[in-house]
Amino acid sequence: MTTNSPTTQATNLTSDNPTTDALHNSPFMRACRRESVPYTPVWLMRQAGRYMREYREVRARTTFLELCKTPELASEVTVYAAERLGVDAAIIFADILLILEPLGLELEFAKGEGPVIHNPVRTAADVDRLREMESADSLDYVMQAIRQTRRALKPDLPLIGFAGAPFTLASYMIEGGGSKNYVHTKRLMHADSGAWHALMSRIARALPLYLNAQIEAGAQAVQLFDSWVGCLSPADYREFVLPHTLQAIRNIRPGVPVIHFGTGTATLLELLREAGGDVIGLDWRIPLDEGWRRIGYDRAVMGNFDQILLFTSPAIIREHVGRILQQAGGRPGHIFNLGHGILPETPVENVLALVEAVHELSRR
């Protein structure tokens, strides 16, 4: 099966920010290509977040959506987090739902409630009223943040762009916000499969426009977040999700590593591989060695420390880091990360201890 696979070509071809040898040969980029590294690279989902006092100070001056849409602030929190933690990649500060606005949805981040979509998609008529995304121009604030961040980061520190995967975005659009049971999503999926596929296809056409614009702006790799896809059976994933995720990934610029991440996907790993991606994310619910064996050693993997263990102690953190590194077995292509994002109450000193342990225990 054809997939987007990283090559030895430059991964950022912007004229004002050419790829340097230092970026191309950084541990993170080498791991994406399954090449040997001096130590296992590590970065953390939500590494810029409420657990950091400095982030909370920025958030106190603005709303979450305004922070996402203000390139200077988005760049500031991105760069600070990466430098403070000493991680091997930065990820641009944004949100997976920003792409919903150009599609015609009314998005709000309500205090204490999280994201709310005021005009959810529940019927075929609702799908028909969505706008086709012709370009990423309306999301240019994200690209501006990437350009500013790329200029501010160290020249050997890669920057990751990202977007939500088709299923997770569709679920937010249909549910109108967060969900525990995905009643509206699964009802539309099974009761009107034509409307479902039309919605997923529209999202899958929009995502490469957005991600390729992020790459053009200065991202060295991109990640698709399918945070909710673990609610599906393998049969439902194959029929209702796989073709659309495959379509989106195939249209991302060749030569740029794609990280395909999901949670609760222990029953779906072979299907995630089939859907595409150069790096497949593993959460904490499956041992890393078992997950990698099932995915195949011709793909890199990312994961898979349980983020709740960051509430324990540096000694316990170090023990579990060592266990995961042992499961990876020194095989090229492991990027250390959490099973999902850092939680707001996480002690910063424990996050620092995690990064230090990964670097120290994995050094070749």
Residues taking part in catalysis: 46, 50, 59, 95, 172
Identify whether 350 is preceded by a cis peptide bond (ω within 30 of 0).
Answer: no
Q: Which residue has the tokens 């709740």?
A: 308
Cα 260–chain centre separation: 7
Cβ-contact 30, 37 below 8 angstroms: yes
What is the separation of C-alpha 203 from the centre of its chain, rounded to a whole number of angstroms?
A: 16
User: Hey, which residues does 163 pair with through a beta bridge?
Assistant: 224
Decide if 262 contacts 165 (C-beta within 8 A): yes
Is 212:203 a contact under the CB 8 Å cutoff? no
Q: In whole angstroms, give the CA distance from residue 245 to residue 211.
A: 13
> Could you tell me the CA-to-CA distances from 61 to 47, 54, 66, 232 in Å, in that order?
20, 12, 10, 39
